[in-house]
Amino acid sequence: MNIKQKGKFGRFGGQFVPEVLMPAVKELEQGYKQFRDDPEFKQELDYYLKDFAGRPTPLYHARRLSEKYGITVYLKREDLVHGGAHKLNNTLGQALLAKYMGKCRLIAETGAGQHGTATAMAGANLGIPTEVYMGAKDIRRQRMNVYRMELMGTKVIPVTSGSQTLKDAINEALRDWVSNVEDTHYLIGSVVGPHPYPTIVRDFQSVIGNEVKHQIMEKEGRLPDSIIACTGGGSNAIGTFYPFIPDTEVKLFAVEAGGSGMESTDKAALHSASLCVGEEGVLHGARTRILQDPYGQILESHSIAAGLDYSGVGPELTYLAETGRIKPANTSDDEALAAFDELSRMEGIIPALESSHALAYLAKAAGSGELGEIVVINLSGRGDKDLETVLEKGVM
């Protein structure tokens, strides 16, 4: 598998890390190799996914949405996973892996606080002390998530260097990992970072796609014509797509946040669409497509959906986009807000603003026939966390 090729997807991915970090990533590589197929590990993870996280999640036939767009629309209900999003699939997997590897401390970094919260849940449930680095600015903006993490016994460490946001928190987490690798696992939240993270996170999130495959065969007796998922770092997208990659008749759409820009390939407008307008470079240990200026400085991303606000995208998605197996697309803030409103009214489901970007692509593409007759949309999370943002925009 990819492990053999040192975590390369074509020319993307790899391990672009300072020498001091090599022992840590090597050890993780070894640990994952040792336990990924271990029957006891798999059985224990299955147990947590089922009884703690609430899996399998339903594949829901969105009847009224289907009628409106004239195609059969299914929603994969990751919004029903404990915590309200797919993130727990990965944090449970990595926390359990850490335990099997004999690590007794988890660290993570978080921007808006969603990944920190999912890590806190896994850490509390498995009884592993957890510390989360968070920019001081983000701490002020996301008080409720900080409180959630603290309730679950996680220590939130404010980062006051640089811009006091996610990228500074990442630097601090890396520094911590280098100094404490013996007892500490660094729990990364998406399919980004140096090998083996993109592979590990993909494997843990593939539970989504595996369930979809089984469920759609049961309901329709055949595979869907297309699958749509929103893409920040790319973990819910690759997790949904991965089991379908050999099924080339299934079209896979990775929808990025186009920010406030509409239908543009202008970088200034497409604020977080790394696959669409990013350029090749190295970010956080991997070669991939990133938003950067002509001098290689990383550009900050801007999206109404905090979870899509990342300047890079996972190396495997970059590779799959380059080979044409997945189709990158993007939808704007306004299109996502319209989809948010539509799903709430028509199906009684309030979607996360991230997931609303995937839903918006249905409205955008349904008329062209490119989606075919049966489409699955991964509803990566629920929208309760986004009500304030939406209210401010005056949509409701």
Active-site residue numbers?
Answer: 87, 109, 380
Task: Tell me: does residue 230 bind ligand PLP (CB under 6 A).
Answer: yes
Out of 198, 234, 259, 285, the only residue in the binding site for ligand PLP (CB under 6 A) is: 234
Nearer to ligand PLP, 125 or 380 (CB): 380
C-alpha of 303 from chain center: 15
Kindly give the residue spans of alpha helices, DSSP state H, lying in 101-206: 114-126, 136-141, 143-151, 166-180, 197-205
Residue 196 interacting with ligand PLP (CB under 6 A): no
Cα 301 to chain center, whole Å?
16
Give the pair of three-digit tokens for residue 74: 């299914």
User: Which is nearer to ligand PLP, 181 or 273 (by Cβ)?
Assistant: 273
Alpha-carbon 55 to chain mean position: 18
For ligand PLP, which is the closer residue by CB, 215 or 235?
A: 235
Stretch of 22-30, 151-159, 161-169, 224-232 contacting ligand PLP, by CB under 6 A = 224-232
Q: What are the C-alpha distances in Å from 162 to residues 142, 193, 217?
A: 18, 20, 50
The residue number whose beta carbon is nearest to ligand PLP equals: 381
Nearest one of 371, 369, 29 to 198, comparing CA atoms: 29
Instruction: Name the one range near ligand PLP by CB under 6 A: 95-103, 142-150, 170-178, 225-233.
Output: 225-233
Assess contact for 29 and 196: CB atoms under 8 A.
Answer: yes
Distance from C-alpha of 219 to C-alpha of 180, rounded to nearest angstrom? 49
The yes or no reply on residue 355 touching ligand PLP (CB under 6 A) is yes
Q: Which of 8, 36, 76, 87 binds ligand PLP (CB under 6 A)?
A: 87
Which residue among 211, 335, 354, 386 contacts ligand PLP (CB under 6 A)? 354
Contact status: 198 vs ligand PLP (CB under 6 A): no
Q: How far is CA 238 from the centre of its chain?
A: 8
CA angle 80, 97, 3 (to 5 degrees): 105
Q: Choose, by CB under 6 A, the member of 190, 199, 301, 356 that binds ligand PLP.
A: 190
Binding segment (CB under 6 A) for ligand PLP, from list 27-35, 149-157, 234-242, 243-251: 234-242
Distance CA 286, CA 15 (A): 6
Instruction: Kindly tell me which of 59 and 181 has the beta carbon lying closer to ligand PLP.
Output: 59
Of 103 and 357, nearer to ligand PLP (C-beta) is 357
List the structure tokens of 142: 């996301």
**Residue 61 tokens, joined:** 């036939």
The closest of 87, 86, 100, 101 to 25, measured between CA atoms, is 101
Nearest to 134 by CA among 153, 106, 115, 121: 115
Interface positions, 124-183, toward ligand PLP (CB under 6 A): none
Number of residues that bind ligand PLP (CB under 6 A): 19
**38 to 54, 173, 201, 252: CA distances (angstroms):** 23, 29, 17, 31
In the bound complex, what is the minimum distance in angstroms from residue 88's beta carbon to ligand PLP?
10
Footprint (CB under 6 A) of ligand PLP, residues 307-326:
307-308
Is the preceding peptide bond at 56 cis, omega within 30 degrees of 0? yes
Q: Which is nearer to ligand PLP, 72 or 314 (CB)?
A: 314
Which of 72, 236, 288, 303 contacts ligand PLP by CB under 6 A? 236
How many C-beta atoms lie closer than 10 Å to residue 303's C-beta? 25
The nearest distance, CB 238 to ligand PLP, in angstroms, is: 8
Among residues 253, 255, 267, the alpha carbon closest in space to that of 301 is found at: 267
Site for ligand PLP (CB under 6 A): which residue of 49, 85, 304, 321?
85
Minimum distance, C-beta of residue 237 to ligand PLP, in the bound complex (Å): 6
Task: Measure the CA–CA gap between 253 and 72, rounded to whole angstroms.
Answer: 16
The interface with ligand PLP within residues 324-353 (CB under 6 A) comprises 352
Instruction: Considering only the stretches 50-58, 124-132, 166-174, 231-239, report the one whose residues sit in contact with ligand PLP under the rule CB under 6 A.
Output: 231-239
Q: Which residue stretch of 9-17, 123-131, 232-240, 245-253 sits at the interface with ligand PLP (rule: CB under 6 A)?
A: 232-240
Give residues in contact with ligand PLP (CB under 6 A).
Answer: 85, 87, 114, 190, 230-237, 307-308, 352, 354-355, 380-381
